[in-house]
Amino acid sequence: MAVGPGFCPTSTELAKLGVRRPPIGATVSGLSSAKAKVEGGELLELPGIAAQSKSAPTLYHFPISLGSQQVRLVLAEKQVAWDGQIVNTGPALENLEPWYAKLNPQLVVPTLVVGTTIVTGAVQIVGFVNEHFPGPELLPSEPEQRDEVLRWIEIQDQFPLRELGYARTKGMVRWFQRWSLRQQRSRLRRLIRKNPELRDIYEAKRAELDGLERGIHHRIGMSELVDEVEVLLDEIEVTLEQREWLAGPNYTLADAMWTAVLSKLEQIGFARSLRSHRRPEVARWYAQLRERPSWDSMIRRLSAWQVLRFYGPSVAKTFLLFWVLKWMIVIGLGWLVAHLRG
């Protein structure tokens, strides 16, 4: 695969984003010996598949995953052809399967495989793509503008959008999300028993889920998060009064990463906060982002067929079990009443 020159964050700059480059020479002996890295991204050399080095990169992703959306946007902006492999992070929990745990020890999407290289973590992946593929340069070389891009990437990377998303849901969706957390814990317990060599990876994921549940049940903390979103959007409004794009006069990685963030905020109840009567500059900027070709190709909603495919079997199984238990109880009570009367 032909690659072109580009600018990628240095190790110091990546450290500001909570991303650490692995040591030089970090390798895996096949996929089976991949090492867990709880935080940040990871870039590993995968031996034995050099023949694939000229093929298109493969992106393991899920349509509505925030990180997946960000990476797809950057691939589109760089005009990179890629092969996709969907990892169902919904009820099927394919991201917990041993084959994926060996590929991405964080058990999340996205993961990018380019020839003999595995890159994980959305921030790490977009930096890698910008550096190693030809196309428009999305990270300025001028130090001040570069720092501004990295600052806005760091802000979105550190903000707990996942917790906020859980806190903003209601009704059946809220119940389904809580049910999904319980299912993940149950699946992890079984996987630990069956795959003791992956215990550290799975235990780290269990600890992460425990922290997530504590966070979403902390009502005061969740209320404060909502306020922080409004404050952050106010800061963006002021910033955009002085420039066309988020980090300067040109479209950059910061705009690409924030496109997916704004879309997520719109979905979870902040649509009014993005409108022109509240924040005209944010509305203008968001409209520009939606007008780019990368929006239509990479910000994806699930089609009706995909909803049925990804969520249908588990939902049907859950409600079938509920229906069976319900009628077992009704029939049992009916038999008991009839027996007592007799």
The confidence score (pLDDT) of residue 329 equals 76
Do 148 and 25 fall into the same domain? no
Is 239 part of any domain? yes
Is 2 part of any domain? no
* Euclidean distance between CA atoms 198 and 99, whole angstroms: 11
The confidence score (pLDDT) of residue 335 equals 72
The confidence score (pLDDT) of residue 37 equals 31
* Euclidean distance between CA atoms 244 and 283, whole angstroms: 12
Is 109 part of any domain? yes
CATH of the domain at 38: 3.40.30.10
Do 274 and 219 fall into the same domain? yes
Do 113 and 208 fall into the same domain? no
Do 154 and 129 fall into the same domain? no
Positions in the chain whose pLDDT score sits under 50: 1-40, 45-54
Do 210 and 235 fall into the same domain? yes
Do 46 and 158 fall into the same domain? no
Give the total number of structural domains in the chain. 2
Q: pTM to 2 decimals?
A: 0.77
118 has which bridge partners? 44, 113
Do 167 and 292 fall into the same domain? yes
269-277 contacts at long range (C-beta below 8 A, 24 or more positions apart): 269/168, 270/229, 270/233, 273/229, 273/230, 273/233, 274/233
Do 211 and 117 fall into the same domain? no
Could you say which of 115, 139, 163 is where a domain stops? Answer: 139
The confidence score (pLDDT) of residue 274 equals 97
The confidence score (pLDDT) of residue 316 equals 56
Helix (H, G, I), strand (E, B) or coil at 207: helix
Helices and strands (H and E) in the chain: how many: 13, 5
Residue 310 corresponds to which amino acid?
Answer: F
Q: Sheet holding 83-86: strands in order across?
A: 42-45, 117-120, 111-114, 58-61, 83-86
Contact 21, 98 (CB under 8 A): no
For 186-232, the pLDDT digits (tens) are 999 999 999 999 999 999 999 999 998 888 877 667 788 999 999 99
Do 148 and 133 fall into the same domain? no
Do 135 and 154 fall into the same domain? no
Do 204 and 224 fall into the same domain? yes
Is 333 part of any domain? no
Is 329 part of any domain? no
What domain range includes position 236? 144-298
- The rounded mean pLDDT for the chain is 80
The confidence score (pLDDT) of residue 318 equals 54
CATH of the domain at 167: 1.20.1050.10
Do 164 and 117 fall into the same domain? no
Helix (H, G, I), strand (E, B) or coil at 68: helix
